[in-house]
C-alpha cells in the first residue's frame, strides 16, 4: 500500500516528510485553500512523485505549474469534464515534451518520454452513483474518492468506505477524506475487504497537522508503522 501526504506548504517540513519516504507528496494550487502553495519545492528523492492539486483551473495554468515545479501528477478536485481531462493529458505531454526536448538539446542528452498522471477526484458521503466514472475511465490514470463536504477537500472526516464494495472499475484508486490515527483500526479492516482490492494509495492530510500545511512528523511515523506501508 502506498502513501500520499497532501497539503504540503513549508520548506523544512516538506523535507522532513520526504524523509519518511511517502510515494506521493501533494501541493495545493488553489488560492482559497489554507494550504495554498506558492513557494519553492525543495529537492526531493526521485522516487517521490510531486502531485499538483487544482480546482477548476485552466489547462494553461496547470501546464505552467507542471513545468515550473516538475510535477509528476495532477489531481483534479473540481467539476472537470472527461473532455477537459483528455485535453489536459495531451497538453501536459506536449508542454513537457517541448521543455524536455529543449533541455536535452542544451545538455546533449537523449530525450525521455514524459507521462503525467491524471487523478480525478469524486466525492462520497453515504451513497455514490458509480456510473459517473465511466466517461473518465479512458482519460484518467487514477480516481480519488474523498469526503463530500463544504470544502473541495480537507474537511477532516471520513466517508462511508462500505460504499466502495460496489466499485465497478479495474482502475486503481486513492482513498482520501479525514483519515488519521483514529481511523487505523477501521482502515486495517477495510484493507482486508474486497472493496479495497483496487485501493492503490492512502491519502492523508488534515488529521496529521499542527496547523494547516504543517505536518506532525511523529504522527505520520506512527501511521506508517501501524499500517506497515510498503512500496
C-alpha–C-alpha distance, residues 203 and 26, integer Å: 9
Q: What is the mean pLDDT of residues 48-54?
A: 98
Tally of domains within the chain: 1
Q: What is the mean pLDDT of residues 1-10?
A: 96
Q: What CATH number corresponds to the domain at position 112?
A: 3.20.20.70
According to the model, what pLDDT value does residue 112 have?
42
Which residue segment(s) compose the domain that 104 sits in?
Answer: 2-227
| Residue 43 CA, distance from chain mean position | 19
Region of residue 108 (phi > 0: left; psi between -120 and 50: alpha; otherwise: beta): left
DSSP category for residue 167: -
Region of residue 47 (phi > 0: left; psi between -120 and 50: alpha; otherwise: beta): alpha
pLDDT digits (tens, 9 = 90+) for 62-77: 999 999 999 999 999 9
Quote the longest CA-to-CA distance of the chain: 55
pLDDT digits (tens, 9 = 90+) for 149-208: 666 655 567 899 999 999 999 999 999 999 999 988 899 999 999 999 999 999 999 999
According to the model, what pLDDT value does residue 50 have?
98
Total Cβ atoms within 10 A of residue 29: 21
According to the model, what pLDDT value does residue 94 have?
56
Amino acid at each position: 500500500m502506498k502513501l500520499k501526504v497532501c497539503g504540503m506548504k513549508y520548506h523544512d517540513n516538506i523535507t522532513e516528510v520526504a524523509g519518511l519516504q511517502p510515494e506521493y507528496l501533494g501541493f495545493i494550487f488553489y488560492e482559497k485553500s489554507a494550504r495554498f502553495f506558492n513557494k519553492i519545492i525543495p529537492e526531493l528523492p526521485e522516487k517521490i512523485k510531486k502531485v499538483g492539486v487544482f480546482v477548476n483551473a485552466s489547462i494553461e495554468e496547470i501546464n505552467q505549474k507542471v513545468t515550473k515545479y516538475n510535477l509528476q501528477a495532477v489531481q483534479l478536485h473540481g467539476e472537470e469534464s472527461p473532455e477537459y481531462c483528455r485535453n489536459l493529458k495531451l497538453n501536459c505531454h506536449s508542454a513537457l515534451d517541448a521543455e524536455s526536448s529543449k533541455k536535452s538539446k542544451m545538455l546533449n542528452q537523449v530525450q525521455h518520454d514524459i507521462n503525467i498522471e491524471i487523478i480525478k477526484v469524486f466525492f462520497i458521503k453515504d451513497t455514490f452513483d458509480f456510473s459517473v466514472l465511466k466517461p473518465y475511465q479512458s482519460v484518467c490514470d487514477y480516481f480519488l474518492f474523498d469526503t463530500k463536504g463544504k470544502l473541495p477537500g480537507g474537511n477532516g472526516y471520513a466517508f462511508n468506505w462500505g460504499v466502495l464494495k460496489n466499485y465497478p472499475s479495474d482502475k486503481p484508486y486513492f482513498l482520501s477524506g479525514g483519515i488519521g490515527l483514529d481511523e487505523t483500526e477501521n482502515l486495517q479492516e477495510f484493507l482486508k475487504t474486497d472493496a479495497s482490492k483496487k485501493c492503490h494509495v492512502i491519502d492523508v492530510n488534515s488529521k496529521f497537522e499542527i496547523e494547516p500545511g504543517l505536518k506532525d512528523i511523529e504522527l505520520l511515523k506512527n501511521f506508517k508503522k501501524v499500517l506497515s506501508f510498503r512500496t
